[in-house]
Amino acid sequence: MKLLRYILPVILLAAGCSKDQLALRPCTFEVSVSDIKATKATLSIHPSNKDAWYHYSLASSDDDNFNESDEKLIQDDLDFTHIIIEELADIFHIGTFMQAFCYKGDRDLPVTLLTSGADHKVFVYQIDPKTEKKMSGHVRVDFHTREIKPSDVTFDIKFSGSTVTITPSDPEAVYFWEYENSDYILNDYFSPRLYLYKIMDMYVNYGFFDSVTSKGTDTWDFDTMDDEMEEGEICSLVIAGVDPDGEFTTRVTYIDFEYHKGKVAPITVDDYNYDFPLPRQGFSLPKSHKFRIFAEWTKRNSLSGTE
């Protein structure tokens, strides 16, 4: 027993060193991009060393620094990632750089919020888990996202009693609308636009596109069709035209409303048409696509629909 007391720490230390050493062994990567849509794709990564940590960076041709060298693009992304971790980790509990933005083993990663009709470069490279810095070498894959065919469809939104009626300017237009507590949208998704994008993406991935999209006039009764609404609750109704991939074909429109049993009233009647640009024109992007969310977050105080 006395002997074990002295030997056990040595065994644990050796195991720990071995694990660290395995993570630092040189690693090569097989990388491919598939299922490329307008703003979405799947990034497949197969490392030769399954214990190695790795990170990926992505650049779009609408980024100001797109024509910089690979190493410069990678370093810019790493620098910006660490800045975001420092600024937002405590607010949004996103964890450390290694926890939130690094991976091990074979992965098929969904990449969203890409720029439609644009060239992209994705870089995959090994990370030293102690220094959180790039190790030597990287793999680069270039790809191009398809254009979104924009639509000029608009939506007439009318509240009456406990119901809302949505009428598109084109009765054949396919569109998606949803509503949720306004504070929840801003706290968890940072903007109505990002909320609708993420919800639509989830439904498409689960194969529910036909079930959740609408065509022609749609009517919803909050009293009879939603038993979880709370008296005086403030929600946002968000709507956009979509194509078969669930990509937005119109600007995203939202309207805030307040619920009372028997009566649902818009809060910003004259301003409900406040909207957000299509992906190619909008998002006020920072250098890395992973932080388009951060760009939207910085706009929080301008998303009340009362500007």
- In 3-state terms, what secondary structure has residue 111? strand
Amino acid making up residue 129: P
Rounded to an integer, what is the distance from CA 154 to the centroid of its chain? 25
Residue 90 is predicted with a pLDDT of 65
| 70-126: pLDDT as tens digits | 999 999 999 888 887 777 666 666 678 888 889 999 999 999 999 999 999 999 999
The answer to whether the beta carbons of residues 277 and 295 sit under 8 Å apart is no
Pairwise pLDDT comparison (8 vs 142), residue with the higher score: 142
Choosing among 2.60.40.10, 2.20.25.240, 3.40.50.1100, 3.50.50.60, the CATH entry for 27-144 is 2.60.40.10
pLDDT of residue 122: 97
Classify strands 155-160 and 174-181 as parallel, antiparallel or unpaired: unpaired
**What count of other Cβ atoms lies within 10 Å of the Cβ of residue 292?**
24
pLDDT, position 270: 39
pTM of the model: 0.78
Q: What DSSP string runs through 38-55?
A: SS-EEEEEEESSTT-EEE
H helices within the chain, ranges in order? 2-24, 70-92, 97-101, 182-188, 192-205, 209-212, 222-225, 292-297
Tell me which H or E stretch contains 220: strand 218-221
pLDDT, residue 187, reads 79
CB 46 within 8 A of CB 111: no
Distant-in-sequence, close-in-space partners of 91: CB < 8 Å, separation ≥ 6: none
**Residue 294 pLDDT > 50, yes or no?**
no
**pLDDT tier at 198, thresholds 50, 70, 90:** very high
| Residue 21 CB-density burial (10 A; 0-12 exposed, 13-18 middle, 19+ buried) | exposed
Least confident of 45-54, 106-115, 166-175, 298-307: 298-307
Query: Tell me: the pLDDT tens digits for 129-139?
Result: 999 999 989 99
Residue 252 and residue 233: Cα distance in Å, rounded?
22
Please report the pLDDT score of residue 186 as a whole number: 82
User: Which two three-digit tokens encode residue 8?
Assistant: 């056990």
**Euclidean distance between CA atoms 107 and 144, whole angstroms:** 21
How is the chain split into domains, by residue range? Answer: 27-144, 155-278
pLDDT tens digits for range 206-230 = 999 999 999 999 999 999 999 899 9
Q: What is the predicted pLDDT for the residue at 297?
A: 38
Whether residue 150 is predicted with pLDDT greater than 60 in this model: the reply is: yes
Tokens describing residue 63:
């980024």
* pLDDT tens profile 22-80: 888 989 999 999 999 999 999 999 999 999 999 999 999 988 889 999 999 999 999 88
- What is the residue whose two structure tokens read 């790809």? 143
- By percentage, how much of the chain surpasses pLDDT 90? 62
Q: Residues 261-289: pLDDT tens digits?
A: 999 999 864 333 444 333 333 333 333 44
Select from 107, 105, 57 the least CA-distant residue to 79.
57
Instruction: Give 103's strand partners.
Output: 54
